[in-house]
Amino acid sequence: MIPPVLILFSSFLCHVAIAGRTCPKPDDLPFARVVPLKTSYAPGEEIVYSCQPGYVSRGGIRRFTCPLTGLWPINTLRCTPRVCPFAGILENGTVRYTTFEYPNTISFSCNTGFYLKGANSAQCTKEGEWSQELPVCAPTTCPPPPIPKFAKLSVYQPLSGNNSLYRGKAVFECLPQHAMFGNDTVTCTEHGNWTELPECKEVKCPFPSRPDNGFVNYPAKQVLYYKDKATYGCHDTYALDGPEEAECGKFGKWSAQPSCKASCKLSVKRATVIYEGERVNIQDKFKNGMLHGQKISFFCKNKEKKCSYTEDAQCVDGIIQIPKCFKEHSSFAFWKTEASDVKPC
Ligand SMILES: *[C@@H]1O[C@H](CO)[C@@H](O)[C@H](O)[C@H]1NC(C)=O
Ligand SMILES: *[C@@H]1O[C@H](CO)[C@@H](O)[C@H](O)[C@H]1NC(C)=O
Ligand SMILES: *[C@@H]1O[C@H](CO)[C@@H](O)[C@H](O)[C@H]1NC(C)=O
Ligand SMILES: *[C@@H]1O[C@H](CO)[C@@H](O)[C@H](O)[C@H]1NC(C)=O
């Protein structure tokens, strides 16, 4: 039997221990937890520190017993996040990450011309594994392009089966009598579709009109279409103002409507003039007159300075203005010097 005094005494000791030497709430350790967690512990009570899910410590768990001193021993537990396997390389793409540790997320993207086959992000789980299988970047392809109405493919070289790779091209051509609106070339885009298709439309042109004092030739057909050609000419002494050939354009109009312009009769009988950079005798070079559009330079005298200069004249639809400064000498006035023989000013 225990003497009652001893019981009293030991309950007193116990009281002292409980009242004066309890352990406080244990220190917080990053990413660790304490079981049981309380605000105070009696001497002899045990606590267990362990790492939170997703974190590990090299030494495993730590057990501590509240000592009679009421001071927890120094705790060296270090919980560090689990690290998922290296995932830093995605062929033809990019992995964005800070670290591969729990609970971080990494994200994936592919270079232009490739698409993500799989998830676009993954998280490092508590178990130290990626939440998603790592994706791959697969090359973007376009199915064969649709062929617009009234068109045919003129260039198409699929590279991957029947499909085209990103940036692949196809070129269309319109059927005869049809004009293209839009770009003849389509390109396989990064979205796996083609850039905008062109349109082919039938285009008719009216019969070209005959120029006055001239003629026009064109194909002997019921209807004239896109790219048909008309050729023009003029009766003699008339000159064509415009190109000899016109084409039926994509908007149903002829590329040109040339006309015939009259040639000029020259009132000057004798003179040396400049034509296309050369001195010529007007009476030889232009005995049949000047054609519309032709241009010559006349020589004139500067009496004070006793020198010569030139002035231009052009035949415009039958009319030429002879420069006022030009003086034609009669062939009998042989003692007079022609302006063209005087030194230039
Ligand atoms: C895609 O990746 C492969 C393998 O690394 C490489 O040979 C190829 O050049 C890459 N393609 C592009 C367009 O970057
Ligand atoms: C390509 O297309 C042809 C005709 O449509 C088809 O017979 C062939 O199987 C296709 N080839 C591939 C690799 O898909
Ligand atoms: C047609 O498209 C190609 C590329 O797709 C481009 O290089 C070209 O300049 C375009 N042509 C016209 C006339 O817009
Ligand atoms: C191609 O696809 C993209 C994305 O879906 C879309 O924005 C674009 O308008 C498409 N282009 C054509 C020419 O259809």
131-183 per-position pLDDT tens digit: 999 999 999 999 999 999 999 999 998 887 889 999 999 999 999 999 999 99
CATH no. of 22-81: 2.10.70.10
Question: Which atom of ligand 1 sits closest to the CA of residue 111?
Answer: 14
Q: Is the CB of 161 under 6 A from ligand 2?
A: yes
Centre of ligand 3 to C-alpha 188, Å, is: 13
- How far apart are the C-alpha atoms of 107 and 95, rounded to whole Å? 6
Q: Does any ligand 3 atom lie closer than 6 A to the CB of residue 183?
A: yes
Question: In ligand 4, which atom is closest to the CA atom of 189?
Answer: 1
| Ligand 3 within 6 A of CB of 196 | no
pLDDT score recorded for residue 332: 74
Q: Where are the alpha helices (DSSP H) in 262-305?
A: 282-285
Q: How many CB atoms lie within 10 A of CB 295?
A: 14
Residue spans of the chain under pLDDT 70: 1-20
CATH class in words for 272-341? mainly beta
Residue ranges matching CATH 2.10.70.10 in the chain: 22-81, 93-139, 147-199, 204-262, 272-341
Q: 115 CA distance to ligand 4 centroid (A)? A: 15
Question: Pairing state of beta strands 164-165 and 141-142?
Answer: antiparallel
- List pLDDT tens digits, range 178-217: 999 999 999 999 999 999 999 999 999 999 999 999 999 9
Architecture of the domain made up of 93-139: Ribbon (2.10)
d(CA 340, CA 152): 65
> Under CATH, which architecture does the 204-262 domain have?
Ribbon (2.10)
pLDDT at 145 (0 to 100): 95
Architecture of the domain defined by 147-199: Ribbon (2.10)
Q: How far is the CA of 109 from the centre of ligand 1 (A)?
A: 14
Give the three-state DSSP class for 234.
strand
> Ligand 4 centre from 143 Cα, in Å?
14
**What pLDDT was estimated at residue 13?**
46
Atom of ligand 1 nearest to the CA of 137: 1
